[in-house]
Chain A
């Protein structure tokens, strides 16, 4: 029922330029990049061009870019691949992740603990959902093999001080991975600045297609493939490459880097408008996540005593698509675990709302939303 899309942290539409760039690779250039013949050679050329383009954007060598099927797969490959490689090399078994990781990290780490004999510890966050580098340093042990800290949280938008964390990890000879699926859509991330060993991205957050992602793996990082088979992706990920989607991702990332400044200015202006209006107009509301160090398009709130799932449903009927950290399509209103770990009580943690604007969101759309939201919140709060 929605007309206005304010859920860009969930996914974005494929940009027309991206779609156009992908088109030839469904038909004219359909070869398998591994084939000997010229069909394959032409496909391989496009594949390597996409890899070079991505490497150039993020500031790394082409061979450090591993194409995957999505951000979640990148997280899986990073954690499971690095942990199992450490096992093969007879290194330690201790893994550290933050309390506010995406499930792709949390559930992979938990499986490593449960089924593969690794030991998992969680790094707490402060009331803004931010990881303190010192608390990472405190928890690193001689047998720690891997730290994974989310670059920017999807639910609350808070940015983490990744370069500080990676510096202290590297000093201690511990691998550092970051899930930058959200952040890479907004900031022209450079690997030299972040200094991480591995970084996950997914194309559909920055106007690329769904079903394609990448994992940056610093040269020399021990990693064994999770998906075994052929020797594609430097032996780190078997499968015939999804060429049209990879080309689309490269195009979308390039655009995101080129337009980064203007997108950031545009979305940040709208975001700040949302934040100041909501907090001003709605009683018993609070901004969740960091007030400044947050994704430029990301406004997230908690409303006391509200069912976030119902709020998102009611907003949809009114024509606005948003999301809630405590909502899912099956209507299970578990309080958001992210908000709970930030110290919110259940009465607040069930009533979260996430509003994420995009590069093509208009101010009048945001204003229409801001007119409706206080009324909907009031109406739902009046329910017996």
Chain B
């Protein structure tokens, strides 16, 4: 429980459905000296969660996860940027912290299930497999950040909000008289505490300041960049160059420490390679298949063909060039409502 709308309504709904509910809040890492609290677990947020639990008459416990959150999520975030990719720490967190550390502790406290306020649905099919489905609210669907869950995880997971829209959830929060009903949605990464990720990186890994050339597709130097970590694929602003036509970040070449840029019509790739691919069903499909693919949490799904490969890899072909395919983000595969799995984007050329 974060003290916010979604987890509060989750708890309230489950309580209403007759579950014996225990509230849990994680204490996560933040840069202490800055006085910025980790947004998910400020003292206020922990207090809010406890207040809401009290109102719902459920027990509530706060579990410390500072160290492990730092050592897995935050470190991977910093290392990823150092390596020139754009990591998605929420994926690391869900895999290692929520459905790892927290899940184990919830089980140790005697819980049969772990419930979260994610907008996604679970459905057990005839074969006894649990399917991960999109949330019904197309604006809020969060199945993207859950593609890595195993069958065992899913079997012990409850996602009560997946069948509702955010608007309905806010209305329920009001009906349950939860104080968080009007709290704004959280946007940024929790451990940034509202700060810019570039400043965060500079403070925590000064080596990300590593100037290098900005090169166009001809290999011509257009300027200097302060460090690859400060740019992401598709970015236009802040390049500090002034060619006649707007230029966008096409890619990064860590070996030459070069930022590769090009014009709008040079943007886009027709394929991507994914690593650490996870299949929700537990096994990889044995043939290429047509799917809708999301390459970022906020990106719309695009048609393509997914080819499973050995060693937990996969290749995705798109019929037309697709912008913003970004190494470090996840490519998540869907057929209709069903999330089949996904993997971390490794690159765009084989």
B108 touches A314 (CB 8 A): yes
List residues 301-315 of chain A with CB under 8 A from any CB of chain B. Answer: 307, 309-310, 313-314
A331-B64 contact in complex given A1-B59, A317-B22, A317-B59, C-beta closer than 8 Å:
yes
List residues 126-153 of chain B with CB under 8 A from any CB of chain A. Answer: none
Give the segment of A163-171, A266-274, A376-384 that binds chain B.
A376-384
Asked whether any CB of chain B lies closer than 8 Å to the CB of A329, the reply is: yes
Q: How far is the CB of A381 from chain B (nearest CB, A)?
A: 10
A329 touches B50 (CB 8 A): yes
B62 touches A383 (CB 8 A): no
Contact pick for A309, options B50, B64, B108, B110, CB 8 Å: B64
Asked whether any CB of chain A lies closer than 8 Å to the CB of B47, the reply is: yes
Contacts of B109 in A (CB 8 A): 313-314, 317
Q: Mark B36-59, 1 if CB is under 8 A from A, else 0.
A: 000000010011001000000001
Whole-angstrom distance between the alpha carbons of A34 and B109 in the complex?
54
A330-B61 contact in complex given A379-B108, A383-B104, C-beta closer than 8 Å:
no
Contact pick for A318, options B43, B47, B63, B110, CB 8 Å: B110
Whole-angstrom distance between the alpha carbons of A330 and B50 in the complex?
9
CB closest chain-B residue, reference A307: B64
Whole-angstrom distance between the alpha carbons of A28 and B192 in the complex?
58
Q: Mark A312-333, 1 if CB is under 8 A from B, else 0.
A: 0110111000000000011111
B64 touches A333 (CB 8 A): yes
Q: How far is the CB of A172 from chain B (nearest CB, A)?
A: 42
Q: How far is the CB of B179 from chain A (nearest CB, A)?
A: 18
B108 touches A383 (CB 8 A): yes
Whole-angstrom distance between the alpha carbons of A384 and B61 in the complex?
19
B63 touches A310 (CB 8 A): yes
CB closest chain-A residue, reference B47: A330
Contacts of A314 in B (CB 8 A): 108-110
Whole-angstrom distance between the alpha carbons of A82 and B27 in the complex?
40
List residues 192-235 of chain B with CB under 8 A from any CB of chain A. Answer: none
Asked whether any CB of chain A lies closer than 8 Å to the CB of B105, the reply is: yes
B59 touches A316 (CB 8 A): yes
Asked whether any CB of chain A lies closer than 8 Å to the CB of B317, the reply is: no
Q: How far is the CB of B43 from chain A (nearest CB, A)?
A: 6
Whole-angstrom distance between the alpha carbons of A331 and B23 in the complex?
13
Whole-angstrom distance between the alpha carbons of A318 and B50 in the complex?
19
Contacts of A383 in B (CB 8 A): 104-105, 108
A330-B46 contact in complex given A309-B64, A316-B59, C-beta closer than 8 Å:
yes
B27 touches A313 (CB 8 A): no
Asked whether any CB of chain A lies closer than 8 Å to the CB of B2, the reply is: no
A313-B50 contact in complex given A318-B110, A380-B108, C-beta closer than 8 Å:
no
Whole-angstrom distance between the alpha carbons of A383 and B104 in the complex?
7
A329-B62 contact in complex given A310-B105, A317-B22, A383-B104, C-beta closer than 8 Å:
yes
Whole-angstrom distance between the alpha carbons of A313 and B60 in the complex?
8
Whole-angstrom distance between the alpha carbons of A1 and B104 in the complex?
20
List residues 5-23 of chain B with CB under 8 A from any CB of chain A. Answer: 22
Q: Mark B153-192, 1 if CB is under 8 A from A, else 0.
A: 0000000000000000000000000000000000000000
Q: Write 18 A-B pairs (CB below 8 A) sorted by A numbering.
A: A1-B22, A307-B64, A309-B62, A310-B61, A310-B105, A310-B108, A313-B61, A313-B109, A314-B108, A314-B109, A314-B110, A316-B59, A318-B110, A329-B62, A330-B27, A330-B47, A331-B63, A379-B108
Q: Which residue numbers of B lie inside 8 Å of A, CB to CB? A: 22, 25, 27, 43, 46-47, 50, 59, 61-64, 104-105, 108-110
